[in-house]
Structure 1
Amino acid sequence: MNLEGIFNQNKENTIQGRYITLENIEPILNRESLKKDVKIIGESVLGKPIYSYQKGTGKLKIYLWSQMHGNESTTTKALFDFINLLNNGSDLANQLLSAFTFYCIPMLNPDGAKLYTRANANDIDLNRDSQNLTQPESKILRAVFEEFKPDYCFNLHDQRTIFGVADTGKPATVSFLAPSYNEEREVNESRLKAINLIAGINEVLQNFIPGQIGRFDDSFNINCIGDTFQYLGVPTLLFEAGHFAGDYEREVTRKYIFIALLSSFTILSENDIVSNINDKYLNIPQNKVVFFDFMYKNVKINYDGIEIITNFVAQYKEELIDNELNFNAYIVEVGDLKGYYGHYEYDAKEALYKDDFTNFPKQNQKANFNLNEKVFFVNGTIIK
């Protein structure tokens, strides 16, 4: 199966980049080809509609939701790419629709999506509200779970650029987790199903992004939705869309999320899950915070009249300004920084650091500076 070709044929080209809002997805949901399978299942804190998309007649029921965190949009894009596949009339689509019934919530947190925030309009992290159910969005997610009675749950998220695959120096482009169902992090039948499926997905993805798949920490927190659904006996998979080199818009990662989704359902429909492969899951390296967006090495700094050679790093802040998402680089740390990596690295070869302020890279200062007054950096990158 040509997975990349299938992605290219079904990519939803009307949505791209990181800032995906309700206004971006409503025209898709209102298409003649889709709208018969679309419903409004409730409202957000600010009264925005929360949509569902349900399709298929198969016995195995799959529940997927995205943008529980408003600023995590990569999986939303991939989910619409997959929805396009389900509607393209191909043999593959018909096979999937006869094997599965899919229930999708493409954007659970439309208020957070508009504000580009993790939390909802009440400043509540919906992924910590699975027990108290204080928010309308949390109640909707849980009500669908209880009514639909899924056989598998897919909890779709983004993760920050800071995560790498253990100490390999490779970014965690896609990460997975089979959440724990108890404090002891034991493996019961339900969790084993999720573990086995992730192991199968990992084997597929290693052909595309070898060494760039991570495993999320499985500490138990019953307030998290994945842990709750696993506790309730439904195999649950957490997807985390991460960084691919140079892909800050997450358009490349989007492809690998699509491939992961399609691979999941191919494995399930072909009953191609190998049992008792817990070791293959545990051999996926854990995520580790080892990356910065920018790393500058061997920089000479005149500090109180003493010249030192050191390193410093900068990180993008994703700032929404006039409804446009801006990536603004700020200095975050100066020092040896051993064991850390930069998605962009520059060896200054002991060139002297200068800026318009103190001639010292200060925390929270914009990454605008020069080296030996010859090489100039604006927003973290060299200007030609």
Structure 2
Amino acid sequence: MNLEQLFLDNKEKTIEGRYLTLESVEPILKRLNTDNQLSVVGQSVQGRTIYKYVIGSGKTKIYLWSQMHGNESTTTKALFDFLNLLHSGTELAERFLSNFTFCCLPMLNPDGAFLYTRANANEIDLNRDSQALTQPESKILRAVFEEFKPDYCYNLHDQRTIFGVADTGKPATVSFLAPSYNEEREINASRQKAINLIAEMNLVLQEFIPGQIGRFDDSFNINCIGDTFQYLGVPTILFEAGHFPGDYQREMTRKYIFIALVSSFIGICENVVVVNRTKEYLNIPQNKVVFYDLMYKKVKINYDGNEKITNFAAQYKEELVDGKINFNAYIAKIDDLENFFGHEVFDAQGASYEDEDGNFPKIDQKANFCLGKEQKFVNGLIKK
């Protein structure tokens, strides 16, 4: 099976980029509502609709939710690509629809999506509200869980560009976690199924992005929704869509999340969950904070009359302006960059640093500067 072609055949072309709001996805949901699959399950803090989409007639029940964090839209795009596949009329679609019942909350936090914030409109992180259930969105997620009684939970997220695969120098383009169900991080039958599915998805993804799959730390936190559902005995998988080189709009990563979803459901059909694949899972390197977006090496600076050669790094902040996400680069680290990597690296070869304020970079200032007389950098990149 050509999984890349499968993605291209089913990609939802009406959505792209990072800023994905309820207004973006409502027309798609209504178009896919061919047989009353769509329903309203509640409203957000600010009164936006939270939709549930249920499709399939199979006995194995899959619960998927995305954009629990409003600024994490990559998995939402991939989820709609997958829903298109289920409507494709192909043999694979029929196989999935007869084996599974899928229950999706495509955008759990529509207020955060509109504001492009991690938290909801009350500034609460919904992924730390699984016990207190103080927010309407958290209550909806839990109520649908209890009504649907899933066999598997898919917790769909994005992760920042700072994450790499251990110390390999490769970005963590996709990361997974089978959350713990207790403080001891033990493996019971439920968690084992999640582990086995992750091992299968990793096996498939390594063919496309070798060395770019990471594993999250499994410290137990009952306030996190994945840990809660795992604790309640339902195999739960955390998906994290990360950085692919040059892909700040996460359109390449979107493809790999789609491939992971498809391969996991094929795996369940083929019963890969009955084999103990813990060793494979643990061999996936852990995520590590090792990346900056932009790194500048061998830069000459003049600080209080003292010249020296140093390094510095800049990080993008994703800022919503007039309905668009701007990636604005700010100086984030100076000097000690040992054991860190840059998604873009510039070798100044001893050229002198200069900006409007002086001869050395300062933390949190915009990355607009010159290196020597020839290279002018605007928003962290060389002005051409």
Q: Hey, what's the Cα distance between the residues in 1 that align with 2:59 and 2:36?
A: 21
What does the per-residue CA deviation read over 1:69-126, in whole Å, with 9 as the maximum and x for residues that have no partner? 0000000000000000001111110000000000001000000000000000000000
Question: Structure 1 stretches (4+) deviating beyond 6 angstroms?
Answer: none
Letter of the 1:36 counterpart: N
Q: Which residue of 2 is the match for residue 169 of structure 1? A: 169
Q: Which residue of 2 is the match for residue 367 of structure 1? A: 367
Contact 2:196-2:272 at 8 Å conserved across structures: no
**Shift in Å at residue 35 of structure 1?**
6.5
Q: Hey, what's the Cα distance between the residues in 1 that align with 2:34 and 2:74?
A: 21
Q: Rate the CA distance shift 1:35–1:127 in 2: closer, same or farther, 3 A.
A: farther
TM-score, L = length of structure 2: 0.99
**Structure 1 unaligned regions, length at least 5:** none
Q: Which stretch of the first structure deviates more once superposed, 5-14 or 356-365?
A: 356-365
Letter of the 2:23 counterpart: E
Aligned 1:98-137 pairs, distance under 5 A? 98-137=98-137
Q: Which stretch of the first structure deviates more once superposed, 27-36 or 111-120?
A: 27-36
Q: Which residue of 2 is the match for residue 315 of structure 1? A: 315
**Shift in Å at residue 272 of structure 1?**
3.1
SS of equivalent residue, structure 1 residue 31: helix
Q: Which residue of 1 is the match for residue 91 of structure 2? A: 91
Q: Which stretch of the first structure deviates more once superposed, 330-339 or 25-34?
A: 25-34
2:326 corresponds to 1:326? yes
Identical positions, percent:
73
SS of equivalent residue, structure 2 residue 243: coil
Q: Rate the CA distance shift 1:232–1:184 in 2: closer, same or farther, 3 A.
A: same
Q: Hey, what's the Cα distance between the residues in 1 that align with 2:8 and 2:126?
A: 32
Aligned 1:138-157 pairs, distance under 5 A? 138-157=138-157
What does the per-residue CA deviation read over 1:47-77, in whole Å, with 9 as the maximum and x for residues that have no partner? 1000111000001000000000000000000
Contact 2:197-2:272 at 8 Å conserved across structures: no
Q: Hey, what's the Cα distance between the residues in 2 that align with 1:306 and 1:206?
A: 49
Q: Hey, what's the Cα distance between the residues in 1 that align with 2:277 and 2:317?
A: 39
Contact 1:296-1:347 at 8 Å conserved across structures: yes
Letter of the 1:61 counterpart: K
What does the per-residue CA deviation read over 1:251-294, in whole Å, with 9 as the maximum and x for residues that have no partner? 00000000000000000012134611101100000000000000
Q: Rate the CA distance shift 1:125–1:157 in 2: closer, same or farther, 3 A.
A: same
Q: Which residue of 1 is the match for residue 194 of structure 2? A: 194
Letter of the 2:138 counterpart: S
What does the per-residue CA deviation read over 1:314-344, in whole Å, with 9 as the maximum and x for residues that have no partner? 0000001122110000001101310000000
Letter of the 1:202 counterpart: N
Contact 2:38-2:52 at 8 Å conserved across structures: yes
Aligned 1:34-113 pairs, distance under 5 A? 34=34, 36-113=36-113
Q: Which residue of 1 is the match for residue 264 of structure 2? A: 264
Q: Hey, what's the Cα distance between the residues in 1 that align with 2:216 and 2:116?
A: 23
TM-score, L = length of structure 1: 0.99
Contact 1:354-1:373 at 8 Å conserved across structures: no
Letter of the 1:68 counterpart: M
Contact 1:33-1:87 at 8 Å conserved across structures: no
2:226 corresponds to 1:226? yes
| CA RMSD of superposed structures (Å) | 0.9
Q: Hey, what's the Cα distance between the residues in 1 that align with 2:277 and 2:319?
A: 42
Letter of the 2:71 counterpart: N
Q: Which residue of 2 is the match for residue 158 of structure 1? A: 158
SS of equivalent residue, structure 2 residue 79: helix
Contact 1:29-1:35 at 8 Å conserved across structures: no
**Shift in Å at residue 33 of structure 1?**
5.0
Q: Hey, what's the Cα distance between the residues in 2 that align with 1:168 and 1:372?
A: 32
Q: Hey, what's the Cα distance between the residues in 2 that align with 1:138 and 1:49?
A: 14
Residues paired across the two proteins, number:
384
What does the per-residue CA deviation read over 1:161-190, in whole Å, with 9 as the maximum and x for residues that have no partner? 000000000000000000000001000110
Q: Which residue of 2 is the match for residue 245 of structure 1? A: 245
Letter of the 2:330 counterpart: Y
Q: Rate the CA distance shift 1:246–1:28 in 2: closer, same or farther, 3 A.
A: same
Aligned 1:282-321 pairs, distance under 5 A? 282-321=282-321
Q: Hey, what's the Cα distance between the residues in 1 that align with 2:316 and 2:216?
A: 22
**Shift in Å at residue 372 of structure 1?**
1.0
What does the per-residue CA deviation read over 1:15-51, in whole Å, with 9 as the maximum and x for residues that have no partner? 0000000000011011165462111110000110001
Q: Hey, what's the Cα distance between the residues in 2 that align with 1:314 and 1:34?
A: 48
Q: Hey, what's the Cα distance between the residues in 1 that align with 2:33 and 2:142?
A: 28
Q: Hey, what's the Cα distance between the residues in 2 that align with 1:143 and 1:269?
A: 27
**Structure 2 unaligned regions, length at least 5:** none
Q: Hey, what's the Cα distance between the residues in 2 that align with 1:16 and 1:372?
A: 38
Q: Hey, what's the Cα distance between the residues in 2 that align with 1:113 and 1:35?
A: 27
Q: Hey, what's the Cα distance between the residues in 1 that align with 2:263 and 2:114?
A: 31
Q: Which residue of 2 is the match for residue 31 of structure 1? A: 31
Letter of the 1:283 counterpart: N
Letter of the 1:200 counterpart: E
Contact 2:301-2:310 at 8 Å conserved across structures: yes
Q: Hey, what's the Cα distance between the residues in 2 that align with 1:123 and 1:280?
A: 38
Q: Which stretch of the first structure deviates more once superposed, 320-329 or 31-40?
A: 31-40
